[in-house]
Structure 1
Amino acid sequence: VYSAEVSPASSRGFLTSFPEVFINSGILLGYVSNYAFSKLPLHLGWRLMLGVGAIPSIFLAVGVLAMPESPRWLVMQGRLGDATRVLDKTSDSKEESMLRLADIKEAAGIPEHCTDDVVQVAKRSKGQDVWKDLLLHPTPAVRHILICVVGIHFFQQASGIDAVVLYSPRIFEKAGITNPDKKLLCTVAVGFVKTVFILVATFFVDKVGRRPLLLASVAGMILSLTGLGLGLTIIDQNHGHRIMWAAVLCLTMVLLYVAFFSIGMGPITWVYSSEIFP
């Protein structure tokens, strides 16, 4: 929400998809650090695996202090002067800043010609009735938007991404990779591929468009999950016999699955949700 409200239109898709980039970068760093700490004694290794996650949080806490407030929130509080200054800093031009301010003022019920630094905002404009308008008495357009947003978030989670990522060591073990170090390296590969393709999506989301990336992502996920299921089924039916090509197929399909998820269903869900609501 914050990224969508602060960023200019020219780079909104790019910036709104950044949370997914950093989430996956964090996952990758977690995999790498886990692999490094796995060499330490058990009583020390798992503590460091958990404790090292506090370091980025410290930098985040410091960075938040320098972040400007959302211009939309400032307008909703009647602080037009502060909102104007933030928009001037975060827009590509003065004209865009004025257009964005005019849109926010219209949504807040503030007259367009009002130029005071501080104004009184009507009670309704502060969002008290937003849930009523969204859930109880939505217009046909808002109802359609709500169905689309809830649907895309539902299918993002129902696609099985968490199961594949969290249980990837089990999948690799099922495929015949039983060495602990090799399993950790495979999970590092999963995190690396996921992060790289998130970056690819970030740079193409504004050039290619949301819909093509999303459709390509879903198609690739279906094919890769089908291949993964086929490989695991063959391995399961030949219990006791190591089938190298099936193991390679499983590893490849896991990597392809997270790659296809990362170019569309992962980041586009958040971009789409932030842009579609009025």
Structure 2
Amino acid sequence: MAPLTYINGTPIGITAVLLALISSMGGFMFGYDTGQISDILVMDDFRRRFAECDPAPSLELIDVSTCEFSTVRSGCIVAFLSIGTLIGCLCGAPVAEILGRRYAMVVECLVFFVGEIIQITSSTHWVQYAIGRIVTGLGIGALSTAVPMYQAETSPSQIRGIVNAMYQFFVTFGILMAYCISLGARELDNSGQWRLVIGLGFTWPTILAIFIQTMPESPRWLASKGRDEEARRSIARVRGISGKGSKAEDDLKTRWDGLIDRELAEMHSTIKLESQSGNGSWADCFNPKDKVLYRTLLGMAIQTLQQLTGANYFFYYGATIFSSVGIDDSFITQIVLGAVNFFCTFFGLYIMQKCGRRWPLILGGLWQSAWLFVYGALGTARDPTTDKVSGKIMIFASCMFILGFASTWAPGAWVIVGETFPMRTRAKQAALATASNWLWNFLLAFFTPFITKAIHFRYGFVFAACNLVGSVVCYFFLYESAGLTLEAVEMMYNDPNCHAWSSATWAPPEYKDRADMTMKLNTENRKEHFEHQSDSGSEKDSGIHHEPHA
């Protein structure tokens, strides 16, 4: 199969695009489960079955207007997913190391199935439903470790940023789909309202488990296991130069064998160097040597701060929040918010590819802080249930906040987790970082009802302050990794002359700076590309047929 396109003269295959789309279905599962619970909590049949209601002779005769979830019960139903994801992401690291990234995803999809079955078979006991969410969370949490790691290790460095950002893009897609399906499902009778929403959740892991087996395994994982020939084939597939087809494809593979050799040699060099620093145990994640501890804490901080932006405050409790500001149909407003989140993530994909990592997160934190301050100030100064104008401005401020989040912090945190850690401890450090995300996800989901009951919309001020802290942390501690291979990122963090605020210009020793590196590599790749085109043209004139490759 010939390359789909060339970026700066370097071949990119269709497989690189497909692996991004297929593996990101793990993000869709995450988003779908995140988005569905907000609307399920306000569905009539779900409230009759699981909320606290006035007594009635039968379930059907219960007056739904008397049904209310206690703060503890609603917090548990929402937050128990995060307990499972916290445990799941820590368990996902050793599973991904032992089975490989692809087979780990299959196992994690099976765990998700079990959780869905427990939820959908719940009848009147809310604890069973909550336990089902814990089990579902185990699968989602493990996938949140495996998927970004697989994408970062397998994707060509030229598109790694956009591929890693695809995970968050599918999270937002899943949230929006959950909102839309819930809007239609609420018109159904009885338990079909919420069981349909949950039942459709079986579709997404089925797609992931089946189609991920058609994708190549991570070449870095294969190289670390001594399976070099498989690693070569994996690199060739994502580059679209695997050969074993027409003579033109075999010639193309021969032309680019040098590129595959260089990438594989760079992986082996890094693996050999890292093996001298430890065996990749959990303890090694906290070793200050080679800035491993630094990066562990950085990854955990970035994922924690992503939760503390306040995004899930809107996603988990959006329907409830918008009801409290006087919106007649909170389902519709929730969809509007989900649509803003989804479509703005397209912008986020572009930003992660073109603008790097540091400044999008720094500026995104400032933008988000400003709009959360507006949200909190209006909700505190006026009663949005009686002042409709204030309520509408608060909804607008929420959308502007989501615009910034979806464009910067939402994809950026997952990109950083995918490309910051050394190979020997990458799975475990990614698990620790993701565990921080899920821990704060749980704390916010569980305690938000208590906090909002005490301080109401002043909660926005808390998140505004956290966003400012996020911008400061990124400026002083986050290194710019855009445009570098994972092996070059490792070199950058270990260069004593490189600091976070100056890292955007850093390049390996053979180059003057990042711009010089980019220019020389582009020139070299384009030369190789054009030489191939020239040779192909000459052979075509001689009667040899070549299939198009760009």
Choose the corresponding residue for 1:131, options 262, 266, 282. 282
- Aligned equivalent of 2:268: 105
Q: Which amino acid aligns with 2:313?
A: A
Alpha-carbon deviation of 1:146?
2.4
In the other structure, the counterpart of 1:233 is 380
- Would you say how many aligned residue pairs link Structure 1 and Structure 2? 258
CA contact (8 A) 1:8 1:90 kept: yes
Pick one of 277, 287, 300 that aligns with 1:150. 300
What is the rounded CA distance, in whole Å, between the counterparts of 1:81 and 1:221 in structure 2? 47
Aligned 8 A contact 1:153 1:269 in 2? yes
1:97-246 equivalences under 5 Å are: 97-109=260-272, 128-135=279-286, 137-139=287-289, 141-177=291-327, 179=328, 182-236=329-383, 242-246=386-390
Question: 2:373 is aligned with what amino acid?
Answer: T
Q: Distance in 2 between matches of 1:165 and 1:104?
A: 40
How far off is 1:133 after superposition?
2.7
Tell me, in whole angstroms, the C-alpha distance in 2 between the residues paired with 1:23 and 1:63. 19
1:267 matched residue in structure 2: 411
What residue identity is the alignment partner of 1:44? G
Q: What is the letter of the counterpart of residue 131 of structure 1?
A: W
1:36: Cα distance to partner? 0.8
Contiguous gaps of at least 5 residues in structure 1: 111-121
Quick check: 1:63 aligned with 2:202? no
> How far apart in 2 are the matches of 1:172 and 1:270?
29
1:5 and 2:153 matched: yes
Mapped to 2, the partners of 1:84 and 1:263 lie a distance apart of 35
Show the counterpart of 2:220.
Answer: 72
Aligned to 1:119: none
State whether residues 37 and 48 of structure 1, in contact with CA within 8 Å, keep that contact through their aligned partners in structure 2. yes
> Could you tell me which amino acid in structure 1 is paired with residue 193 of structure 2?
G
TM-score by length of 1: 0.86
Q: 1:94: Cα distance to partner?
A: 4.3
CA drift at 1:217? 1.2
Q: Distance in 2 between matches of 1:94 and 1:261?
A: 41
Query: Counterparts of 1:273 and 1:59 in 2: how far apart (Å)?
Result: 25
Q: Tell me the residue number matched to 1:46.
A: 194
* C-alpha separation in 1, matches of 2:382 and 2:190: 32
For each residue in 1:56-103, what CA deviation from the matched residue of structure 2 results, as whole angstroms up to 9, or x when unmatched? Answer: 222122112212111111111111001011111223754443222112
Give me the whole-angstrom Cα distance separating, in 2, the residues matched to 1:99 and 1:206: 23
- Seq. identity, %: 25
Question: TM-score, with normalisation over the residues of structure 2?
Answer: 0.45
Matched with 1:87 is: 235
* Cα distance in 2 for residues equivalent to 1:242 and 1:15: 45
One-letter identity of the residue aligned with 1:61: A
Aligned-pair CA distance for 1:20: 0.5
- The aligned residue for residue 180 of structure 2 is 32
Q: Tell me how large the CA RMSD over aligned residues is.
A: 2.1
Q: 1:66 to 1:140 in 2, by over 3 A?
A: closer
CA contact (8 A) 1:156 1:269 kept: yes
| Of 28-37 and 247-256, the range deviating more from structure 2 | 247-256
Residues 174 and 232 in structure 1, CA contact (< 8 A), matched pair in contact too: no
Runs of 4+ in 1 over 6 A off after TM superposition: none
Q: Contact 2:288–2:294 (CA<8 Å) still a contact in 1?
A: no
- Bigger drift between 79-88 and 54-63 goes to 54-63
Q: Which has the larger radius of gyration?
A: 2
Please say if residues 175 and 235 of structure 1, whose CA atoms lie closer than 8 Å, have aligned partners that are also in contact: no
Offset at residue 152 of structure 1 (A): 0.9
**Separation of aligned partners in 2, 1:42 and 1:233:** 38
Check whether the contact 2:176–2:338 (CA below 8 A) recurs between aligned residues.
yes
Cα distance in 1 between the residues matched to 2:324 and 2:202: 33
Q: Which has the higher contact order (CA 8 A, sep 6+)?
A: 1
